[in-house]
Chain A
Amino acid sequence: MKKKQVLVACGAGIATSTIVNGAIEEMAKEHQLKLDLIQIKITEVGGYVDTADLLVTTAMTKKEYPFPVINARSFLTGIGTDDTRKKILEELKK
């Protein structure tokens, strides 16, 4: 299976995306998935539209992308984390 390119983005690319990045790394390890994880600012997503398989973000996106977008605020608040993990995992395993 091709290594999936996963974008992890937030507003500034320094705080919340770091948390989300860590959570996905953990998931990948647990499920033995090889990922190409890229942590960026949401404004940089445009540069990856041709290569990315998934965007996980805590920032809002008004744009439409050719790949699925998952909101990962739950990793920060602890509310609904299981549901978010499930959604991400489903995409990673596709």
Chain B
Amino acid sequence: MSELFFDESVILLDLECSAKEEVLTTMGRNLVNKNLVKESFIDAIIAREFEFATGLPTAGISVAIPHTDVHHVNRKTISMGVLNETVDFGVMGDDRETTPVKLVFMLAMDETHSQLSLLQQLMQVFQSEETLQYLVTEKDKTTIKQLIKAKVNCDSLEGDEKE
């Protein structure tokens, strides 16, 4: 099991995108360039999003958690994207509805069934309106990184300078 990769370089702020494909391509391309995922990840994550939407209407800001099969992934990563303007994503489990997404957590998972605590902690982030509000307004990536690290399984996070 590899350690989760999460640092400033996978936090993308002020994304100017007009459609979900563009969001997924931009965020996916960044991960490909960093060799965290394979080239095939981008097409796979777009296809998966069309087949099984991942938009989540929350109490405050809608979130999307695009992800795809483990074999497109080199290293377990969570990438975060904040959009300047909301982009419609399909609602998870309900393809008749869309939700205006402002915050995207792209999950690059490298194994099945065994990352419960990580995912649970991430869901806790989505369930806090206050945290979401903070994440879409904060402009300092280091501050954002620290906040997420504090909430999501900080022991297994890498990409931090040794203290």
Partner-binding segment picked from A44-52, A54-62, A85-93? A54-62
A44 and B95 CA atoms in complex are apart in Å by: 19
Which range holds the interface residue count of chain B?
Answer: 20 to 34
A-B pairs under 8 A by CB, number: 81
Contact of A14 among B70, B94, B95 (CB under 8 A): B70
Known contacts A14-B112, A60-B95; decide if A78 and B119 are in contact (CB<8 Å): no
How far does the alpha carbon of A25 sit from the alpha carbon of B103 in the complex, in Å? 29
Task: Decide if the interface of chain B is mainly helix, strand, loop or mixed.
Answer: loop
Given A15-B65, A78-B127, A79-B58, A73 and B112 contact (CB-CB distance below 8 Å): no
Q: How many Å lie between the Cα of A52 and that of B107 in the bound state?
A: 29
Contact A12 B92 (CB under 8 A): no
Assembly CA distance A87 to B150 (angstroms): 34
State whether B52 touches A11 (Cβ < 8 A): yes
Chain B nearest CB from A39 CB (Å) reads 6
B: which residues have CB within 8 A of A?
48, 51-52, 54, 56-59, 65, 67-70, 91-95, 107, 109, 111-116, 119-120, 123, 126-127
Q: Does A14 lie within 8 Å of B93, measured CB to CB?
A: no
Give Cα distance in the complex from A41 to B70, angstroms.
13
